[in-house]
Chains A and B, each alone.
Chain A
């Protein structure tokens, strides 16, 4: 059981001449909850997007459940079925109702029947506390509700791992709470998670480990107790002092 479910080994990634990831190594064990933080442009999004191959890598290796992502489209397909993702901008399908958003992938890619998928959609909508919104269209919901639908949509695929890319930074303060609540419940349920966030409260409460990125490099990697009280590097101290001021 000590095999990591996500293994990122010395990954480099360039956008043209700009280096977004510079030899990042990260291992995530089953059931572990990782929070990734760091200044803007440090490569956080790039890192999580590499894990389900929304971005390709230039060198290094990423395996998820021992499947190497570089093997080809079939491997990517297999990985994506077990990895759910939640975006900063929700990316709900605006032309489909909430229920249709949730049922689309289970029916089309897992091959569930419509009725089973609808059952499942209902179950997860209850899990994120908005069962009454099933028939609405995404743009008729508030931001917080939309993000919870997006989480439910990912959960409907019953993934083993969830990736979050700043799930709360497009939201108003009062909506952040409802989304954080849902994420915390997930964490309590034992889901393996990698979460990019600036919400240090969330990090403190649920993270097993906090990874601090800067200029594409992992600067520091520690449990929250250590990370907040005794950061080792100066860059981390600087970052923390700036972010905790507000």
Chain B
């Protein structure tokens, strides 16, 4: 009672606001929930099973596997599942305090390399699967994780280079970073998909997915570099001086003393870049790839399932939201924890 009076009805202006909002919520939420849940169609397998006027979740259920794997052949999808487990396992090493960050990073890179060969089937007895068949959530994750993995080492070098005392290195790194940060991702993707082939000798061709990955990682690399540079700037001079006094050279100082501290500082910033990149991978649909959003968008044109745009976008929205929101919670949690430690 007391609480309601203080927080909702403390003055007449306040009361009016509360009533307006409640009315608005009632007006919007009731039909929305009705459409989403109450009168939605959940059971069936055909378009005709959706007749109630609510959301047609039958369509999402029917297409669910395709949303996850794209056109990856059904009997080979175990490879994707297996690699997802391997990737998650190696990522979770970061949460385990007995394993050092360096080991965990190495494990993640190793699992990515294994993953690439398993999924393509290259150089092994598994049947090869062309990357143009990859799609759905799997492709989204490949682009995000792969793009980041390629971008990360470059980003560290760029960040160090931008703080370098050698003018040529500094100017080059600064220009490189600002170039990619100054243009929209879509132009980078166009560049990678249209211009890149022109640079190669006759006959040689690069896989479309690989081209997109290169574009994504150039773009992400520039943003990561700025985040890492922020961390480098936060390291007090004393650390450099102490390392120099111990006779460690530049690279050793960076590798053993500066980078481990700087990277730990910027974990929240890195996670935020991951979230941004995860959302940005949707742009590959513009260059004709079928990522999670792309495959949903394509399925909306299916003659059998016309008129379900709202369902498709709401489903995609919920999934993207759930993933991004949990990542951002994680980032905020880490930030809070490190703030209390620092005090």
Contact = CB atoms under 8 A, between A and B. Distances in A.
Asked if chains A and B are in direct contact (CB within 8 A), the reply is: yes
Interface of A: 72-73
B187 interface: no
Give the top 3 A-B pairs by smallest Cβ distance, nearest first. A73-B10, A73-B11, A72-B10
A73 B15 CA distance: 14
Contacts of A72: 10
A4 B63 CA distance: 77
A80 to B, nearest CB: 16
Contacts of A73: 10-11
Nearest to A72: B10
A72 B11 CA distance: 9
Contacts of B11: 73
Interface of B: 10-11
3 contacts: A72-B10, A73-B10, A73-B11
A73 B10 CA distance: 8
Nearest to A56: B6
A72 B2 CA distance: 12
B9 to A, nearest CB: 11
A179 B11 CA distance: 40
A73 B11 CA distance: 8
A16 to B, nearest CB: 16
A30 to B, nearest CB: 31
A73 B12 CA distance: 12
Nearest to B11: A73
A28 B10 CA distance: 30
A109 to B, nearest CB: 17
B17 to A, nearest CB: 15
B232 to A, nearest CB: 31
Contacts of B10: 72-73
Nearest to B10: A73
A23 B10 CA distance: 28
B4 to A, nearest CB: 14
Nearest to B5: A72
B76 to A, nearest CB: 57
A2 B10 CA distance: 34
B3 to A, nearest CB: 13
A72 B9 CA distance: 11
A72 B6 CA distance: 9
B7 to A, nearest CB: 12
B11 to A, nearest CB: 6
Nearest to B6: A72
B30 to A, nearest CB: 34
A170 to B, nearest CB: 22
B315 to A, nearest CB: 44
A230 B11 CA distance: 51
A104 B10 CA distance: 26
A170 B316 CA distance: 57
A73 B14 CA distance: 12
A59 to B, nearest CB: 13
A72 B10 CA distance: 8
Nearest to A74: B11
A206 B11 CA distance: 42
A67 to B, nearest CB: 17
A73 B9 CA distance: 12
A205 to B, nearest CB: 40
A68 to B, nearest CB: 16
B233 to A, nearest CB: 26
B14 to A, nearest CB: 9
A76 to B, nearest CB: 11
A215 B11 CA distance: 37
B144 to A, nearest CB: 42
B285 to A, nearest CB: 47
B192 to A, nearest CB: 47
B110 to A, nearest CB: 47
B12 to A, nearest CB: 11
